[in-house]
Amino acid sequence: MSLSRIIAVVDKEIHDALRNRYIAMLMIILPLLFAAIPIISLTSIRQIPASGEPSEELPPGLARRLAGLPPRTQLEVFLASQFMLLFWIAPLAIPMTIATYSVVGEKREKALEPLLATPVTTGELLIGKAIAAACPGMALSWGAYFIVVAAAYGIHLSPPAMETLWGPTAWVQIFVLGPFITLLATLTGLIVSSRVNDPRLAEQVGMIVILPLLGLILAQSFGIL
């Protein structure tokens, strides 16, 4: 197995992905949204008076855990916990999209056979495609996350909310579960794209992986988690 050939495959795959308008727009829009939405929301929350009646909009489980905190702090913690799930979507959607378009696109353009005829082995090809699909989504997700954390420090978010965004639990979510989700999405995308000839079908089948994530979002929203 040659590292130089794997790097060559990664370089080719990333260039091919950037030439795809849909993938390029996804790589631009998702990180911008996932950075802008938390910053705007948390900044707006800071305008709420620090004292007042406890919020009745919090999930019951979360409300019990946050009992005794000021209402604004409760809302900040709730929003911060919800926004953490946003940083799982980019490492899920972007790698899956790149991976599903990878093999299918080459098959449709009849570029796969010449590639297989090169000295690149099947293992090197798959590793290169996996790295090229996984790295952009992970890097963009982390970039958006660091921007949100920096902004949270800048607006002087309350310590409990800051702990939710930047603490041991958050680090596990971002730096452990995030790469795991990325790997899962990438492998699913590659497997699906190797079995079908339509990129839209490949993406639709691959999107099945999103269902557990949606379940987590709903469970946390209703206070089940």
Per-block average pLDDT, block size 10, for the chain (225 residues)?
Answer: 82 85 89 92 77 57 69 83 84 85 70 64 84 91 94 90 90 88 84 73 67 62 52
DSSP string, 171-224: HHIIIIIHHHHHHHHHHHHHHHHTT-S-HHHHHHHHGGGHHHHHHHHHHHHTT-
Question: How many angstroms separate the CA atoms of 141 and 128, rounded?
Answer: 20
Residue 221, amino acid: S
Q: What local confidence, expressed as pLDDT, does residue 219 receive?
A: 64
The pLDDT assigned to 78 comes to 84
Amino acid identity for residue 46 in this structure: R
pLDDT for the residue 218: 55
Predicted confidence at residue 210, as pLDDT, reads 62
